[in-house]
Amino acid sequence: MVKMPLDVRETLSKQKPVPIATSSKDGVPNVIFVGLMKILDDETLMVVDNFFKKTVDNLSENPRISVICYDPQTKKSYQIKGRTQICKEGQTYDEMKSWVKGINDKLPARSCVIIKVEEIYNALWGPGAGDRIA
């Protein structure tokens, strides 16, 4: 795992909604927007599964995920890659349920996806595009 630098965390925290990409075990891609994501610590993200269909199927087959963020004010963009774990019980799940209900008690909050950050890349155009930064 790698630690997310401060500018990555700041850029990600401004991104609403957050695009995430998964793929099936056969490599069929799927990209969706997620409305509820939380930075748990320097190495961990949490995504709330309210209405996942293909996404949760993909993560069950292939736990790899990619998250992208962009801040038009700072002109910074990052791609975060990691490995996931789906939580449907336990302390993290209970905390997620409470957080979601505080935002909108009509959301199902079926599970939470914990993302352990493994790689971070510069996703902005130009000479450094695609460079690994962490």
Domains assigned to the chain: 6-122 (2.30.110.10)
Of all helices (H) and strands (E), which one includes residue 65?
strand 64-71
Which 3 state secondary structure label does DSSP give 3? Answer: coil
The torsion region of residue 130 among left (phi > 0), alpha (psi -120 to 50) and beta comes to left
Instruction: Dig out the tokens for 62 from the structure.
Output: 């292939």
Q: How confident is the prediction for the chain on average, in pLDDT?
A: 97
Contact 107, 50 (CB under 8 A): yes
Distance, CA of 47 to CA of 112 (rounded, Å) = 6
User: Using one digit for the tens of pLDDT, what is the confidence trace for 52-99?
Assistant: 999 999 999 999 999 999 999 999 999 999 999 999 999 999 999 999
- Read off the pLDDT band of 10 (50, 70, 90): very high
